[in-house]
Amino acid sequence: MDEKKEVLLKVENLRQYFKMGKKELKAVDDVSFEIYKGEVFGLVGESGCGKTTTGRSIIRLYDITGGSVYYKGERICAGTRSYKDNIKQARKEFDDKKITKEQLDDIIAKNKEEIKSAQEDHKKWARTRKGQNLITNEIQMIFQDPIASLDPRMTVHDIIAEGLVIHGEKNKEYIEKQVYKMLETVGLVREHASRYPHEFSGGQRQRIGIARAVIMKPELIIADEPISALDVSIQAQVINLLNELSQKMGLTIMFIAHDLAVVKYFSNRIAVMYFGKIVELGASDELFAHPFHPYTRSLLSAIPLPDPITERKRKRVLYNPVLDHDYSKEEPVMREVYPGHFVRCNTEEFDRYVKEYQGQA
């Protein structure tokens, strides 16, 4: 952690599991990171790696399975799975006569206290339609599909104003003024307020989604692949709009995408996610200059280049976890190869990465 920067959001050992019949899908498994106030934090990885689930878990669209999420130092999400697992493990060890009855009772008591604390924190920040100063005022989400995320039966005015209405604002004149202001902020005009979502292009619909999020004056925006459903020419416009808003309004943005080139342009730091876990995390420029994890190198090798001669010679690096790693003796953990640059690796890989970096530096 950088002590000079204020940590706005802290994700600690986040787990999000889903029941799939008799099996359990580990969509997000033991993910930890911090987002500093005022920065753009990129979360990148292939489809199905758990990026969107991470964002939805943070904003409490899911009840998390395990771990904690802290916003401004307050725990807003808390899971109980790890504490329950600790109790089960302790009982098994007691049955195997590895621990005493006193030790078992102590472990059970401590973990039950943690479960109670987690449930109280989670309930405290539960989303409601009443009250003031709710966490949902300060954390907003921009969804991937602008068509599916906008109610086709509501006018643009009602869509953008919905957040204010839900949180108790009754002054119609104030609401209308804010809606018009947001429309102009995102590059639309007042006349658009009376129209319906189907009357707009994809890029315009995404601007409406951005206006809906920004009208709540949030501190943190989770942008879930906001440009993936748009034409290339429109993508640049939306990214530039988000960039302008982040600077103008002092927003902190968590930008989720699968395109590393876009994330590099837009983000201060990048976390690379694979199969529910973060495998590498570092400053944007450093990650591109010194990629260590084989999966990160594979993603970088897939970025097309504008030079046709260079592009013709470009070689894809394929990532195969079975061939690229040997974790039979030691499981990988996140380690800091050099200040601010973390990689999921074991001791042997860590030593190799450090030597590699020292040779490049």
Give the range of the structural domain holding residue 207, as residue numbers without chain letter.
38-60+127-324
Instruction: Please answer whether residues 279 and 295 qualify as being in contact, where contact means their C-beta atoms are separated by less than 8 angstroms.
Output: yes
Question: Within a domain: residue 259?
Answer: yes
Token reading at 133: 């100063």
**Into how many domains does the chain fold?**
1
Token reading at 310: 């260079």
Q: Residue 131: what pLDDT?
A: 45
Question: Within a domain: residue 119?
Answer: no
Q: Residue 316: what pLDDT?
A: 87
Q: Residue 122: what pLDDT?
A: 78
Question: Within a domain: residue 140?
Answer: yes
Compute the distance between CA of residue 255 and CA of residue 178 in angstroms, rounded to an integer: 25
Question: Within a domain: residue 245?
Answer: yes
What is the chain's alpha carbon radius of gyration, rounded to the nearest angstrom? Answer: 23
Question: Within a domain: residue 334?
Answer: no
Question: What global pTM score does this model have?
Answer: 0.89
Compute the distance between CA of residue 31 and CA of residue 16 in angstroms, rounded to an integer: 10
pLDDT tens-digit series, residues 62-92: 989 999 999 999 898 899 999 999 999 999 9
Question: Within a domain: residue 100?
Answer: no
Question: Within a domain: residue 352?
Answer: no
User: What CATH number did the domain enclosing 284 receive?
Assistant: 3.40.50.300
Compute the distance between CA of residue 155 and CA of residue 74 in angstroms, rounded to an integer: 36
Token reading at 20: 């799939």
Q: Residue 361: what pLDDT?
A: 56
* Gap between the terminal Cα atoms of the chain: 23
72 sits in the region (left: phi over 0; alpha: psi -120 to 50; else beta) called left
pLDDT along the chain (361 residues), means of 10: 78 94 91 96 93 93 92 90 93 93 95 93 64 68 88 95 87 95 94 94 92 93 88 85 90 91 88 96 94 94 82 86 93 95 96 89 56
Question: Within a domain: residue 30?
Answer: no
Compute the distance between CA of residue 324 and CA of residue 335 in angstroms, rounded to an integer: 18
Q: How many CA atoms lie within 13 A of 327 on its CB side?
A: 11
